[in-house]
Amino acid sequence: MSEHLETLWYTRCPVPTGLGIAVQKGWLEEGLRGQCAQIKSLRESSDRAVRESHFDHTLENSVRHGGSIPAIWARSAGRDTRLVGLSWADETQRILALPQSGIQSVKDLKGRRFGLPKWENVQIDFPRAQALRALESALKLQGLALSDVELVDFPIGGGFSDGGPARDVNGSYVFGASRSGRNTELVGLLREEVDAIFLKGASAAQTAHQFGLHTVIDVGAHPDPLIRSNNGTPRTLTVDRNLIDHHFDATTHILGAVLRAEDWARQHPDETRRFLARETNSSEYWVSVAYGEEAHLHLDTNFSEVSVRALQDFSDFLHRQHFIPEAVNVAAWIDTRPYATAAQAQSRLAA
């Protein structure tokens, strides 16, 4: 029997997730009514150590839905977490160059300078890892390797949690600005200190348009899922072991809220687009450009063979490139019980 849960901590990335919609709709709280005393967003905490748990998953009785790199790193570093779901919402993943650079296609990257962020005071540098992954995947398509490109670092001081708590501003999820700034590699590109960079998501689409950048390749549009596999493809839904061992009913209700949100999204494309715009702090137009006109159909959380295989391939990349200390066995990380229980309950309601 599940024990009473005093506090559930939740966190999600500013990207399309079922958990994000469930929070916005109030369904996470509704599903856990009677299961726990309070539900808190760890990214809205005034305590930096609590906010940092978004990246290292140290906070007990917490759930996280978002980019896979921090979740994989936490597992590799010894955090006792369980993978309870995977979602795959394809997004634009662009290698960008200035029009005057002469770089028209991936083969033109050979011998050129590629700008990479290098966060100096973080536990896991996920922006750097996702940029290297996209570059390696693109180069592979032309028989090239990372060694064929000159990698140029753009150091960034501070940490991801330095900017203060996230805030809900008129429905949009806004993160505190880091004192160290972001996208230093973009500034380097505009100053012609490098020849190409990587950006992803709605902000990438908008930035490319705003500065008239040339998209060398959109890795996120490639037909091979292993080429598209990166920090957001697939996204991980994880909980700590204490939550699943001692509060299984609450864990199941979390999955139920996520599945409910994703089912609702399939029936409400326009409203879903508005929800995703608020989650990504973007406009509905750029959400459509970045995630496609059918984004509402691609939020599903499950354990598809493609998602599991892609996550393992991506995890192997992170280990090979020394972003994580130990290899991660994705199959051994998975616990399907909460998902199976929640899916059965949803099927009964739909019958």
Cis check for the bond before 16: say yes or no (omega within 30 of 0).
no
Tell me the C-alpha distance between 216 and 97, whole Å. 7
Same domain, 256 and 274: yes
The pLDDT score that the predictor gives to residue 320 is 98
Same domain, 191 and 255: no
Cβ–Cβ < 8 Å for 28, 254: yes
The proportion of the chain whose per-residue pLDDT surpasses 90, expressed as a percent, equals 84
Say if residue 200's pLDDT is above 80: yes
More confident residue, 328 or 350: 328
Cβ–Cβ < 8 Å for 66, 53: no
Render the burial of 144-161: b for 16+ CB within 10 Å, e for the rest: beeeebebbebebeebbb
Same domain, 101 and 164: yes
Count of domains in the chain?
Answer: 2
Is residue 254 helix, strand or coil? helix
Say if residue 241's pLDDT is above 50: yes
Same domain, 208 and 238: no
The pLDDT score that the predictor gives to residue 173 is 63
The pLDDT score that the predictor gives to residue 177 is 54
- What does the block give as tokens for 325? 């200390």
The pLDDT score that the predictor gives to residue 11 is 93
Same domain, 114 and 134: yes
pTM for the whole structure = 0.95
Of 201, 228, 255, which residue sits at a domain end? 228
Per-residue pLDDT of 216-227, as tens digits, reads 999 999 999 999
Say if residue 203's pLDDT is above 80: yes
Least Cα distance to 194 among 202, 205, 183, 204 occurs for 183
Per-residue pLDDT of 334-347, as tens digits, reads 999 999 999 998 87
Same domain, 53 and 79: yes
pLDDT classification of 180: cutoffs 50, 70, 90: very low
Tell me the C-alpha distance between 277 and 272, whole Å. 9
Of 180, 197, 228, which residue sits at a domain end? 228
Same domain, 224 and 252: no
Same domain, 297 and 314: yes
Mean pLDDT over each residue of the chain, to the nearest integer: 93
Same domain, 267 and 141: no
Of 192, 208, 228, which residue sits at a domain end? 228
| Strands 36-41 and 81-87, bridge-based pairing | unpaired
Cβ–Cβ < 8 Å for 298, 46: no
- What does the block give as tokens for 115? 């700008």
Same domain, 71 and 107: no
Residue 210: give the domain boundaries: 93-228
Same domain, 39 and 125: no
Same domain, 218 and 109: yes
Say if residue 228's pLDDT is above 50: yes
Q: Give the CATH number of the domain where residue 199 resides.
A: 3.40.190.10
